[in-house]
Chain A
Amino acid sequence: MAWNRKKKLLAVALCALIAFALSACGGGGGGEGESSGEAGEPPAASSDKDEILIGFAAPMTGPLSIFMGPTPWVEELCLDAINNVNGGIYIDEAGGKLPIRVVYADTESDSNKAMEVATKLVTENKVDILVGAWTPVGTNPISAVGERYEVPVFTFGAPEESWLEGGPYNWATGMQFNYDMLCTDVINMWDKLDTNKKVGFVLDTDVDGTTGREVYTRLLAGTDYEIFDPGAYTIGTTDFTGLISKLKDADCDIITADMITPDFTVFWKQCHQYGYVPKVCTINKGMHYEADVENLDSDGGNGITFSSLWDKNFPFSSPLLGLSCNEIADKWESENEGFYPYSIGYDVAMYDILYDALSRAQTLDKAAVRQAILDTDIDTVFGNLTFNDNQCARVPAIGTQWLPGEKFAFEKKVVASETFPAIPANDPIIIPATTQK
Chain B
Amino acid sequence: MGARTSGIRQIGGAPGPRGGWAARKPLVLAAAVVVLALLPLYASDYGISVGILIFLYMSLGQMWNLLAGYSGLVSLGQQAFVGIGGYTLAMVTQAYHMSIALSFFIAAGVSLAFALVISFPIFKMSGVYFTVGTWIVSEALLVFFRNWAFVKYDAGYNITVAYRISMPALYLGALAVGLGATALVYFILRSRMGLALMAIRDDESAAEARGVRLYRTKLACFLISSVYTGITGVVLYLNITYVKPGAAFGIDWTVCMVFIVVIGGLGTIEGPVIGAVIYVILRQYTYNFPGISMIMLGVAAVAIIMLAPEGIMGAVHGRFGFRLFSTERRPPPGTGPRQYPEDAADV
Question: Are A and B co-members of a single complex?
Answer: yes
**Contact string against B for A residues 1-45, beta-carbon threshold 8 Å, 1 for contact and 0 otherwise:** 001101110110011011101111111100111110000000000
Are the CB atoms of B277 and A148 closer together than 8 Å? no
Interface residues of A in 116-156 (CB under 8 A from B): 116-117, 119-120, 122-124, 136-137, 140-141, 144-145, 147-149
Give min CB distance, A129 to chain B, whole Å. 17
Q: CB distance A205 to B146 under 8 Å?
A: yes
B287: which of A58, A105, A147, A205 is its contact (CB, 8 Å)?
A: A105
Q: Residues of B within 8 Å of A, CB-based: how many? A: 69
Given A33-B288, A108-B294, does the pair A23, B47 have CB atoms closer than 8 Å? yes
- Given A17-B274, A60-B290, A141-B242, A112-B154 contact (CB < 8 Å): no
Which residues 242-257 of B sit at the A interface, judged by CB distance below 8 A?
Answer: 242-244, 246-247, 250, 252
- A211→B155 contact, CB < 8 A: yes
Q: How far is the CB of A63 from chain B (nearest CB, A)?
A: 10
A55-71: which have CB < 8 Å to B? 58, 60-61
Query: Which chain B positions have C-beta within 8 A of A207?
Result: 154-156
CB 8 Å contact bits of A92-124 with B (1 = contact, 0 = none)? 000000000000111010111011110110111
Kindly identify which residue among A17, A140, A209 contacts B154, using a CB–CB cutoff of 8 Å: A209
> How far apart are the CA atoms of A14 and B268 in the complex, in Å?
14
B35 lies within 8 A of A19 (CB): yes
- For chain A, the count of residues having a C-beta within 8 Å of the partner chain is 67
Chain B residues near A10 (CB, 8 Å)? Answer: 270, 316, 322-324
Q: In angstroms, how far is the closest chain B Cβ from the Cβ of A147?
A: 4
The 8 Å CB contact of B44, one of A3, A28, A34, A165, is A28
A193 close to chain B: CB less than 8 A: no
Contact A147 to B163, CB < 8 A, known contacts A60-B291, A141-B242: yes
**A210 to B45 Cα, complex, angstroms:** 37
Which partner residue on chain B sits nearest A142 by CB separation? B242
B273 at the interface (CB under 8 A from A): yes
Q: Are B322 and A6 in contact (CB under 8 A)?
A: yes
Residue interface bits B1-35, CB-to-A below 8 A is 1, else 0? 00000000000000001101100010011001001
Could you list some 24 contacts between A and B, CB below 8 A?
A3-B18, A3-B21, A6-B320, A15-B35, A23-B43, A26-B43, A26-B44, A27-B46, A35-B290, A111-B156, A111-B244, A115-B241, A116-B287, A119-B49, A120-B49, A120-B287, A123-B49, A148-B163, A148-B167, A162-B155, A205-B146, A207-B155, A207-B156, A211-B155
9 more contacts with CB within 8 A, not counting A7-B21, A33-B289, are A7-B18, A18-B277, A21-B50, A21-B54, A21-B281, A111-B244, A115-B240, A209-B153, A234-B154
